[in-house]
Amino acid sequence: MLKILSRSIGLLSFATLLAVSGCGGGAEPAEDAEGGSEGGEVAGAIDRVVLGPEALSSLNLEYARAEVRNLAPSLEVPAEIVPIPDRHATVGPRVAGRVSTVDVNVGDEVERATPLVVMESVDVGRAAADYIGAEAELGVAEQALLRARRLHEQRISSQQALERAEAAFAAADANLRAADARLRAFGASPANGLAEAAQGRVTLASPIAGTVTARSAHVGQWVEPSEVIIEVVGLDSLWLKASVYERDLRYIEVGQRVQVEVRAYPGEVFECVVRTIESTMDEQTRSALVRVTLANPDHRLRPGMFATARIMGTHAHDARELLAVPRSAIEEIDGHPAVFVRVDEGLFEVRSVHLGEYGGEFVEILNGLEEGDAVVADGSFLLKGQLLRSTLGEDE
């Protein structure tokens, strides 16, 4: 059994676990346990991890020193990723009808004017017939007007006859415009040909370029004008809406840098800046929305994701010299923030710490570390896994 390393500051509250595991003052030297740790097993007590050379090499750990840094203050707030309104389209029928075909599925990339759904509607067929009839009437009225003008110029017909022809032409033209408006209101376009509309068919096309994010339409379904059957979202850029409490609003300004982290990609930071601070407050939460625009060229971020927004350069004071370590070094163990301190080759001590302010990729250490201590900055979660497996083994 390994000897437990102890310090006056920073040991984790594992008293109960130590009692269960039976670790005490009669622990064996670390060298005895180290020999059996070649496979990466944790050796000995639960407040340190010992790795053999092979296991240590396979983990590819990276280290950082606890150093005094010029730490710029920041503010962390909850946030949600949402579509940009101008790049979010809901597509539904403008007339009641039955779905004939659906040409897209969720996840499909579409361009503007890409056909999405074809519908069949009696109302569209009637509107197309009215348009064709109005177009024919306008042709007749136009010929009659030309004839009336010619006869009037030859003094064969009266002024009154010319005026009647002009009135008839104006009425026919108005009827055609009305028929055209009805067709367009139903989603059909005479400019693209009347063959489809004359058969009572109308195609619903995407009004924007983007990704199909929702589809409720299926072949044979009867749909009403109030229904939304397809949603298209442009994912190349998204909005992040962060809630900032009233007491912190005085520290937020347009143009401040924002670092965004989402649960789907732990440890990865997306950079952006504050674009808008909304002028109204939520009456229940007493917070205002701060909006930023996130570039998303690879479409990894999705609307609906919850995120944490770290707004840089906040608070009333300027950057200060503070003892800090990388945020990636911090792990939660037994309900407390902790780090793995490298005390020797392959030997890591678990040290509980108290955290202060966050500034970019670093976090202030109030106590638990001394300047110059080497901590595991990348791969600490792997050591945490080894530590937990060792704890379970001791309990058994």
**Residues 182, 223 within the same domain:** yes
The reply to whether 340 and 264 lie within a common domain is: no
Which one of 288, 312, 336 terminates a domain?
Answer: 312
Coil, helix or strand for 227? coil
Residues 56 and 23 in one domain: yes
pLDDT-based confidence at 38, cuts 50/70/90? very low
The alpha carbon torsion through 237, 243, 248, 250 (nearest 10 deg) reads 50
Cα dihedral across residues 275, 281, 282, 287: positive or negative: positive
Domain boundary at 233, 258, 287, which? 233
Q: From the CA atom positions of the chain, what is the Rg in Å?
A: 36
Range of the domain at 288: 74-84+234-312
User: What are the CA-CA distances from residue 177 to residues 37, 174, 347 (Å)?
Assistant: 86, 5, 85
State both tokens at 291: 């909006």
User: Which CATH number goes with the domain that contains 292?
Assistant: 2.40.30.170
366/76 Cα distance (integer angstroms): 18
12, pLDDT greater than 80: no
Mean pLDDT of the chain: 82
Query: Looking only at Cα atoms, what is the longest distance across the chain?
Result: 130
Instruction: Give the Cα separation of 168 and 144 in Å (integer).
Output: 9
pLDDT band at 21 (very low <50, low <70, confident <90, very high): very low
Sign for the CA dihedral angle at 120, 122, 127, 130 comes to positive
Q: What is the dihedral of CA 244, 245, 250, 255, to 10 degrees?
A: 0
User: Would you state the structure tokens that stand for residue 205, as one six-digit string?
Assistant: 């096309």
Provide the domain count of the chain.
3
Check pLDDT > 90 for residue 216. yes
**204 and 225 share a domain?**
yes
Tokens 């072949």, located at residue: 219
Kindly report the CATH number assigned to the domain that includes residue 30. Answer: 2.40.420.20
Q: With the C-alpha atoms ordered 162, 167, 168, 170, is the resulting torsion angle positive or negative?
A: positive
Q: Which of 337, 352, 346 is nearest to 7 (CA)?
A: 352
Direct distance between the N- and C-terminal alpha carbons of the chain, in angstroms, rounded to an integer: 15
Nearby residues of 82 by Cβ (< 8 Å), 6 or more positions away = 238, 239, 240, 241, 303, 304
> What CA–CA distance (Å, rounded) separates 371 from 324?
9
Neighbours of 283 (CB within 10 A): 6
- Pair 118, 187 in one domain: yes
Per-residue pLDDT, 110 = 96
The last residue of a domain, from among 184, 211, 233: 233
For 71-127, the pLDDT digits (tens) are: 666 788 889 999 999 999 999 999 999 999 999 999 999 999 999 999 999 999 999
Q: Residue 4: inside a domain, yes or no?
A: no
Please report which confidence band the pLDDT of residue 350 belongs to, taking 50, 70 and 90 as the band edges: very high
Q: Judge whether residue 4 has pLDDT over 80.
A: no
Residues 150 and 250 in one domain: no
For residue range 115-143, list pLDDT tens digits in order.
999 999 999 999 999 999 999 999 999 99
Cα–Cα dist 44/33, whole Å: 7
Rounded CA-CA distance 118/243 in Å is 42
Contact 52, 173 (CB under 8 A): no
* 102 and 229 both lie in a single domain: yes
Q: Report d(CA 62, CA 16) in Å as an integer.
A: 31
Q: Exposed/middle/buried for 284, CB within 10 Å: 0-12, 13-18, 19+? A: exposed
Is 367 within a domain?
A: yes
* Tens digit of each residue's pLDDT (9 = 90 or more) over 157-208: 899 999 999 999 999 999 999 999 988 888 887 776 688 888 889 999 999 9
Examine the pLDDT at 55 and tell me if it is beyond 50. yes
CB-based burial label for 34 (10 Å; 0-12, 13-18, 19+): buried
